[in-house]
Amino acid sequence: MTGRVRAHDHRTIRSDLRNCTGDGVTHAFMVGLGETNFPLFALALGKGDAVAGLVSTVPQLVGAVLQTCAPWGIERMGSPRRWIMLCATIQCVSFIPMVVAAMLGVMPTWMLFAVASIYWAVNLGAAPAWNTWVGALFPRRIRVRYFGWRSRIYQISIMGSLLVGGLVLMLGDPGRAQRLLGIDMGIDLGLMAAFATVFGLAGLCRLWSVLFLNRQGEAPGLNLKNHRRVGWIDFAQRVRGGADGRLLGAVVLMTVAVQIAQPFYTPYMSRQLGLSDAAVLAMIAASFAAKSMTAPLWGRIAQKHGARRLFVWGALGIVPLSALWLVNDSFWYLLGLQALTGAMFGAYELGFFFLALESIREEERTSMLALFMLFNSFAAAAGSMIGSIALTGMGSLEAVGMMGGAYVAIFAMSAGCRALAFFACTTVREEVAHAVPIAMQTLSLRPSAGSFDVPEPASIEEAESMGTTR
């Protein structure tokens, strides 16, 4: 593949569709085997609970800041495809230090955060460019059906990657797996060797993804000069001067409230409850599966009752979830709670995207998605820092004898802040005329929210073609 624009005949389109699907499958396996295990790896290295929680949010903020350079990088390289391949290659290489650290059994905290920040910088930097590129790569008549199908394949691949990762980590700690799940693995791989294996597999999957990207052509008719970069001042004026301000403000407040507790579910499950790494991955899988399976239901509810009601109902469902973690420490109870959590976050996020979609013009899509991810990452980092300070500062609560000690405080604090954020969500008065079904692109998995998603490009165009208006 030379990168030149090819004639877009049926044979070429079929080839691009196959390679785009292959890229999705391999990327999904990288996500499930790689970034999902960063907090568990931090715990295995002997890092504190606060470090294990922050490693999933602070590097994302650093990456979100750096990914604002994506429009500049695309302009310099003259092609979204070439920029995406560069990001994917760097992402592949970022797993090498993780493999080496797992083999050595040691990694300085600063290096763990640095490697994770590089990973997230290129991960988030490629996402808006990918939306722009594939949105122009395929003919309009097949985009909606194809991306809906690709989204389902991606979700199945995520579940498969979590299964593979869980099995490998069970081989690394067979005694714990037998105590908790009654499964005799018969093999003791060693925990650090297991982490080296999953990170090595994640890197290989991303390398395979690069090969799939290389086999796809440049998008015909894509004129980068028509793509406008939205600056900070322009973005702030739009938010302050329009109804978007209420919507974005409510979402930022809810993100801060949620992230007070969410990054710390993994260390809570692993250290406080004593669950195996495989059991923790099963919890994440349950949340993601429920979120994916209920998406069609939420879409139909939005079409019947309106996107605003879906958004508000989802926000209401999110409020008590962190407090419910304190009710029971049974594995099966928590697994069911995780499924409920994924479903509620799915309703909330889908309602938000329905309300926000039509405000993004096609020529500003790359830049606006980058700014949205930046604001979301700022809010997530702020919430996680509040949770980290509370977790370390209230360590004396461990002596009280309550389940989880200091975790009781941050889970309850998160529930209270979610209730306040919910009232902000009720102030959103906007509505859409037609809630068109949206296929979502998963950017990352989250311990108690299923995943962080953005709409597939074809879904945005379909919403525009239906003439959604507030």
Model confidence pLDDT, tens digit, residues 141-157: 777 678 778 888 888 99
CB 445 within 8 A of CB 32: yes
* Rounded distance between C-alpha atoms, residue 87 and residue 80, angstroms: 11
3-state class (DSSP) for residue 5: coil
Q: 66 pLDDT exceeds 80?
A: no
Residue 223 lies in a domain: no
Task: Pick the range with the lowest mean pLDDT from 95-109, 292-306, 421-435.
Answer: 421-435
Residue 225 lies in a domain: no
Q: 401 pLDDT exceeds 50?
A: no
The predicted structure's pLDDT at residue 151: 80
- What domain range is 379 assigned to? 10-218+230-465
Q: Count CB neighbours of 401 within 10 A.
A: 7
Q: What angle do CA 318, 321, 325 make, to 5 degrees?
A: 165
Residue 1 lies in a domain: no
- Report the Cα–Cα distance between both ends of the chain, in Å, rounded: 44
The predicted structure's pLDDT at residue 10: 76
Instruction: Give the phi and the psi of residue 223 in degrees, each rounded to 5.
Output: -105, 105
Could you tell me which residues come within 8 angstroms of residue 204 by beta carbon, excluding any fewer than 6 positions away? Answer: none
Residue 449 lies in a domain: yes
Residue 2 lies in a domain: no
Residue 420 pLDDT level (bands cut at 50, 70, 90): very high
The predicted structure's pLDDT at residue 111: 94
Q: Which value, in Å, is the radius of gyration of the alpha carbons in the chain?
A: 21
Average of per-residue pLDDT across 237-253: 70
Residue 469 pLDDT level (bands cut at 50, 70, 90): very low
Domain count, the chain: 1
Q: Is the pTM of this model over 0.95?
A: no
Residue 441 lies in a domain: yes
Least Cα distance to 129 among 56, 91, 78 occurs for 78
Residue 326 pLDDT level (bands cut at 50, 70, 90): confident
* Rounded distance between C-alpha atoms, residue 396 and residue 387, angstroms: 15
Q: 226 pLDDT exceeds 60?
A: no
Distances 138 to 143, 216, 217 between C-alpha atoms, Å: 6, 11, 10
Residue 74 lies in a domain: yes
Residue 355 lies in a domain: yes
Q: What is the CATH number of the domain that holds 214?
A: 1.20.1250.20
Q: 162 pLDDT exceeds 60?
A: yes
Percent of the chain exceeding pLDDT 70 equals 75
Average of per-residue pLDDT across 282-296: 87
* Rounded distance between C-alpha atoms, residue 322 and residue 416, angstroms: 10
